[in-house]
Structure 1
Amino acid sequence: MDYDKLGLKMGLEVHQQLNTDEKLFCPCSCELTDKKPDYKVLRNLRPTQSELGKVDRAAFEESRRKLQFIYEAYKNETCLVEVDEEPPHPLNKEAVKISLIVASLLNMNVVDELHTMRKQVIDGSNTGGFQRTGLVATNGYMDTEYGRVIIENLCLEEDAARRIGQKKGNVVFRLDRLGIPLVEITTDPSMKHPDQVKEVAYQIGQVLRSTKVKRGLGTIRQDLNISIREGARVELKGVQDLDLMAQMVENEVKRQINLLEIMKELQKRDAHVDDTIYDVKDLFKQTESKIIAKALKDGSVLAIKLNGFAGLIGKEVQPSRRFGTELAGYAKKMGVSGIFHTDELPAYGITQKEVDTVLEFVKAGEEDAFVLVADDDEKARNALLEVLRRAKTAIIEIPEETRKALENANSEYLRPLPTASRMYVETDIPTTVISRDYLENIKNNLPELPDEKKARIIQQYNLSEDLAHQLVRRNRAGDFEEIMASSNLDSTTVASTFAYTIKELKRDGKDILKLTTDCLKETFALVEKGKITKEAVQEVLVGVCDGEKSPEQAAKDLNLTMLSEEDVESVIDDIISSNSKMVEERGMGAMGALMGKAMAKLKGKADGKLVNKLLRDKLQNK
């Protein structure tokens, strides 16, 4: 694709949880739990007007779904602050400090005062109907292969509640995640090439990993804003895989190009949409469609006519996704399972005769189409109203949307883009003043970036690039250096334990939480003192994981403790004696075979260099 000609513009939003002991506005734990909740809270949320008298469009659409929200709460991970029954406590100072470190690493201008705001969100992810957020810094930058990218804003905010599931109009959230501090980093829309987005996401990730942030699934979330010149700004939520970013950009650009083609064809046909919703229930009395048959008992079968849309609803807009899928996405937000439309019928038990009957009933012409919904009457009507709204928009423009990124690099509709009519000043939290002296002290003590750290430990400890990369990526470089600072061990042996051995133990289901830095220090101390071989380290660690014991006790229980030099010499004497004929015939040529026998008999209880020396000396003296 010629992205310059298309006028492609992209921006990135990165949300990263901070690894603090307490939440942003209360002293609760920042750990997630799957325990049975100690109590539950039921809430209904509704949108309110901003100071300008406007209602945010995203909040308004959520309110039309008429959902109730059930919140699971706990004694240790939540308190009255998360339930919105107690005012928030002052800002977490540790979280503020980490956000200032990140801002400084991104070359940003930090504000003099941090003001906490309320951002209206009524999708249920916050009990109070808003998320607390505060602007920390602005106008930073990052240099890339494709040019400089401006980091517009860095905000410190509370994470949302975890969505657990939905049943019969009740959405269940878990409050353990609500209030965990996170930073939101937003770039400007200056990126013009898909590979540049990937590079910026990687660099921001490198900055974050150099600070005190959480690791693991769900701790970092990335949203991608995309537009083309004749299209519209779309926000893709949850772009997790950096390697899929370029494909997601390409698929979104394709979607907008195809929607533009559909729009131009609709305009050429002088397409229009009637607001009439037709009750076509009586036309399906003898239907073989299971979905419609169910609706005949306790619901409605409703239809709308789309003038000039025939053949276009089935047009592909993304790989394996059609314009009809776009319409269905709007309908599903109102609680229905899907829609039927003429470009895919007859199918799903609906016959051609039934299709013709509906077309005749709504007085459709050759270029006209209909959309059908079979469900509860109110849900079906609301779903078709959404389809009508989306179909009308299709004739004049591409709508601005928030979309969910899918694993196959496509996306699906979530909600309209929010507007500026959703921000309020938080009156319960005092302003946090950021002194210049405090900020200067932070800037003078910034952490080492991961790429810099990798290059340094490769040179300092003579490690391979792969080992150094794994240490930095797994955030174990500090532990590695701590052990190396107090020992003369082989750096590759220590690094391999952190980079691969522990990973293998975790994959085997071992309790690696027992392998603390102190435990690993003790294990390597046994190697340095000659009590175990380096080859026995993994077995000792397995013993620690499997029981409540020290590395030294694990080594004794597993019979891995090294033999004395006298005991090793005795074993070698026995092997030479048992293989005297081979020694007579081959002399020093028997060295390899005897070394193998010795190591097999010693089973890791002797250092290979010692065995080799003793065996060589004895053969030379024969």
Structure 2
Amino acid sequence: MTEFDYDELGLVAGLEIHQQLDTATKLFCECPTELREPEEAERTFTRYLHPTRSELGEIDEAALEESKVEREFEYLAYDTTCLVEEDDEPPHRLDEEALATALEITQLLDMDPVDRAHVMRKVVIDGSNTSGFQRSTLMAHDGEIETSEGSVGIEDLMLEEESAQRVEEREGGVQFSLDRLGIPLVEIGTKPDISTPEQAREAAERIGMLLRSTGKVKRGLGTIRQDVNVSIEEGARVEMKGVQSLDDIDDLVREEVRRQVELVDIADELQSRDASVGDTQDVTDVFADTDSGVIRGALDADGVVHAVPLYGFDGLVGRELQDDRRLGTEFSDHAKRHGAGGIFHTDELPAYGVTEAEVEALREAVGAGEDDAVAIVADEPDVATGAIDAVAERARTAIEGVPEETRGANDDGTSEYLRPLPGAARMYPETDVPPVDPDPSEVETPELLTEKVQRYQDDYGLDAGLAEQVAYGRRWPLFEERVEAGVDATLAAQTLESTVTELRRDDVPVENLGDDHFRGVLDLVAEGELAQEGVPELLAALAEQPDREAAELAEELGLGSAGEDEVREAVVEVVERNSEQVEEEGMGAFSGLMGECMGALRGKADGDLVSEVLREEIQQRA
């Protein structure tokens, strides 16, 4: 990957971190915040959404483009779904637990909370909310975090409702699930202080650590998302949405810089060629006898072929902007937004069944010369018209430079067009929810995870690696609880982190293990009723039978802690069975026999005791 001089390019970047809060109920109703499986849905209903005007009579550009594609939205409703979620009842007051957690986060980010928090409506008509808008509340502003490359300002913190979960795309619409809709969410926006890809990733990691320090945020895939805003001096601000992994942020910034550098270069070249975009035309007759499968399929379904001449674009439509993404791919993204499957263009033709003769006929039909390019769309008439118009408009912006837009992040570090950047016209007051007066004095600042790691080393004697595993893991509250109850700290830490990881690698369904299972197992060890070596087997059994009690299952499996007499009896039996090896090797036989002894005792005995007895028995016979 090409590495640029980001300072010379004038790279400016900022982050928007969206983190779900782990509250009992949703932000504006009393429904639970647990996710459901689509097959659990009890019924469905549909909506058609349309943009509304702001208080100043303006319509947001992003919402307007979304409305050009008529789609039906189907929603999966469950036994927990309420009228608020269906938009058949006004929202209730802001959830108190969510408010308190948001205030904790503002303190960790060194932010100034607002005196009065007003709920606003943000127009969103992509189907992700039944009401056609998302409710959002400004909670704080003007914070700061530190990175190794300097401080990064925090612009604002919003408390919002999570969107509905997209289940599947359908012809003419989208299906959503209402289980996620309304889960409390904080959106943290940084100032544009980030100047390198590495700093972007570090800033996101720092904010993520601060969020997890509250112990009140949801964990797992999809519970935190990062949007990244990127621009270079000669480019434009582009927002990349839906970054799932922190590991992807620096690559996304690098790839977006590369894309903008290429687009700026293409614009310079187009301007030097005095490039322009012609009128769209119907060129169906050119392909009347085509053998191209895509075009033939469209024509056989009473479709048409529309084209747009791109004067001066020859060789540039196929110019690579990112890996496997070209300027033509950008055009195709816009066509797809209007229902088309994609486009063909002359930089890649003849190909896909399109012949050289058809390319020449196409050029002649639209008046394109050898320095020009032509893009075509084959589809049903309405789709082809909207798609080729979108391609023409995107081609015009290519002459100007880099367009401001919202893009979707891909797993390989590239991105694809989603919609124009939203503006202020999509925000207006929510009149159904009264404002609240936040009181930060009622909230305690939580301990940072970095501080927790150090405390675990100092107070409990954990090594640095294990201390970090526990502090950054999901079960640190349980760890502290059991240590306070008398469980050995190292045992508790290893059980909750290392042992669980090993069991997961062995395909044990550890997701079935709850806090009560761990309490039962750890308490058995602390009481001398279970040897530490028996912990993995008992946890594995509990994971397979989560409705059983730890003590009951340990007894059934014969995992009770063995006394010294039972240990010595098992060790003597192993030593006598291997008497020749003991006579020949002496203590050299220890390692092999130790494993055999532990196997014979099936995890019922402490390893230190078995080791001590085995050494004694070998020394007596050596």
TM over 0.5: yes
What root-mean-square deviation, in Å, do the aligned CA atoms of Structure 1 and Structure 2 show?
2.2
Moved more, 584-593 or 151-160: 584-593
Aligned to 1:610: 609
Q: How does 1:429-444 map to 2 (within 5 A)?
A: 429-434=433-438, 438-442=439-443
> Which residue identity is paired with 1:500?
S
Match of 1:292 among 292, 295, 300: 295
> Which residue identity is paired with 2:456?
I
**CA displacement at 1:549 relative to structure 2:** 2.3
> Which residue identity is paired with 1:91?
L
Q: Secondary structure at the match of 1:53?
A: coil
Aligned to 1:468: 467
Aligned to 1:119: 122
Q: Secondary structure at the match of 1:171?
A: strand
Q: Secondary structure at the match of 2:199?
A: helix
Aligned to 1:229: 233
**CA displacement at 1:570 relative to structure 2:** 4.1
**CA displacement at 1:53 relative to structure 2:** 2.1
Match of 2:35 among 32, 35, 43: 32
Unaligned runs of 5+ in 1: none
Moved more, 516-525 or 1-10: 516-525
Q: Secondary structure at the match of 2:347?
A: helix
Aligned to 2:217: 213
How far apart are the structure 2 equivalents of 1:617 and 1:286? 93
Contact 2:281 2:308 in 1 (8 A): yes
Q: Deviations over 1:417-457 (max 9, x none)?
A: 011111110000011112xxx41231xx2111111111211
Q: Deviations over 1:536-566 (max 9, x none)?
A: 1111112222223222222222222233333
1:203 corresponds to 2:206: yes
Match of 1:177 among 176, 180, 183: 180
Q: Secondary structure at the match of 1:421?
A: helix
Aligned to 1:22: 25
Q: 1:417 to 1:562 in 2, by over 3 A?
A: same
How far apart are the structure 1 equivalents of 2:359 and 2:384? 19
Q: 1:342 to 1:95 in 2, by over 3 A?
A: same
How far apart are the structure 1 equivalents of 2:96 and 2:620? 72
Q: Secondary structure at the match of 1:605?
A: coil
Contact 2:487 2:522 in 1 (8 A): no
Q: How does 1:461-610 map to 2 (within 5 A)?
A: 461-487=460-486, 489=488, 491-547=489-545, 548-572=547-571, 598-610=597-609
Q: Secondary structure at the match of 2:239?
A: strand
Q: Secondary structure at the match of 1:344?
A: coil
Q: 1:339 to 1:592 in 2, by over 3 A?
A: closer
Percent of residue pairs identical: 49
**CA displacement at 1:459 relative to structure 2:** 2.3
Q: 1:529 to 1:300 in 2, by over 3 A?
A: same
Unaligned runs of 5+ in 2: none
1:344 corresponds to 2:344: no
How far apart are the structure 2 equivalents of 1:597 and 1:190? 61
Q: 1:17 to 1:523 in 2, by over 3 A?
A: same
Q: Deviations over 1:181-223 (max 9, x none)?
A: 0000000111111111111100100011012000000000000
**CA displacement at 1:283 relative to structure 2:** 1.4
Contact 2:238 2:406 in 1 (8 A): yes
How far apart are the structure 2 equivalents of 1:272 and 1:85? 50
Q: Deviations over 1:266-287 (max 9, x none)?
A: 111111112x221111111211
How far apart are the structure 2 equivalents of 1:188 and 1:174? 33
Moved more, 371-380 or 471-480: 471-480
How far apart are the structure 2 equivalents of 1:101 and 1:251? 35
Q: Secondary structure at the match of 1:113?
A: coil
Contact 2:313 2:371 in 1 (8 A): yes
Q: 1:406 to 1:521 in 2, by over 3 A?
A: same
Q: Secondary structure at the match of 1:492?
A: helix
Aligned to 1:410: 414
Moved more, 565-574 or 344-353: 565-574
Q: 1:480 to 1:374 in 2, by over 3 A?
A: same
**CA displacement at 1:515 relative to structure 2:** 3.1
Q: Deviations over 1:335-377 (max 9, x none)?
A: 1000011101000100010010011111112212111100010
How far apart are the structure 1 equivalents of 2:264 and 2:329? 16
1:9 corresponds to 2:12: yes
**CA displacement at 1:51 relative to structure 2:** 1.9
How far apart are the structure 1 equivalents of 2:40 and 2:594? 59
**CA displacement at 1:97 relative to structure 2:** 0.5
Moved more, 574-583 or 495-504: 574-583
Aligned to 2:276: 272
> Which residue identity is paired with 1:234?
V
How far apart are the structure 1 equivalents of 2:170 and 2:92? 34
How far apart are the structure 2 equivalents of 1:106 and 1:398? 33
1:253 corresponds to 2:230: no
Match of 2:164 among 161, 164, 170: 161
**CA displacement at 1:121 relative to structure 2:** 0.8
How far apart are the structure 2 equivalents of 1:166 and 1:581? 71
Q: 1:579 to 1:417 in 2, by over 3 A?
A: closer
1:89 corresponds to 2:92: yes
How far apart are the structure 2 equivalents of 1:250 and 1:584? 66
Q: 1:618 to 1:350 in 2, by over 3 A?
A: closer
Q: 1:178 to 1:603 in 2, by over 3 A?
A: closer
Q: Secondary structure at the match of 1:226?
A: strand
Moved more, 348-357 or 477-486: 477-486
Q: 1:593 to 1:85 in 2, by over 3 A?
A: closer
Aligned to 2:339: 335
Moved more, 209-218 or 566-575: 566-575
> Which residue identity is paired with 1:441?
E
How far apart are the structure 2 equivalents of 1:574 and 1:360? 95
Q: Deviations over 1:4-29 (max 9, x none)?
A: 11111001000000001110001111
How far apart are the structure 1 equivalents of 2:231 and 2:592? 70
**CA displacement at 1:145 relative to structure 2:** 1.4
Q: Secondary structure at the match of 1:33?
A: coil
Q: 1:324 to 1:149 in 2, by over 3 A?
A: same
Q: Deviations over 1:448-505 (max 9, x none)?
A: 111111121122222222212221222222222222222253x333212111222333
1:48 corresponds to 2:52: yes
Q: Secondary structure at the match of 1:143?
A: strand
Q: 1:584 to 1:17 in 2, by over 3 A?
A: closer
**CA displacement at 1:594 relative to structure 2:** 6.6
How far apart are the structure 2 equivalents of 1:604 and 1:202? 40
How far apart are the structure 2 equivalents of 1:104 and 1:287? 66
Contact 2:162 2:182 in 1 (8 A): yes
How far apart are the structure 1 equivalents of 2:371 and 2:589? 91
**Alignment length, in residue pairs?**
614
How far apart are the structure 2 equivalents of 1:587 and 1:380? 86
How far apart are the structure 1 equivalents of 2:588 and 2:297? 86
Aligned to 2:67: 63
> Which residue identity is paired with 1:370?
V
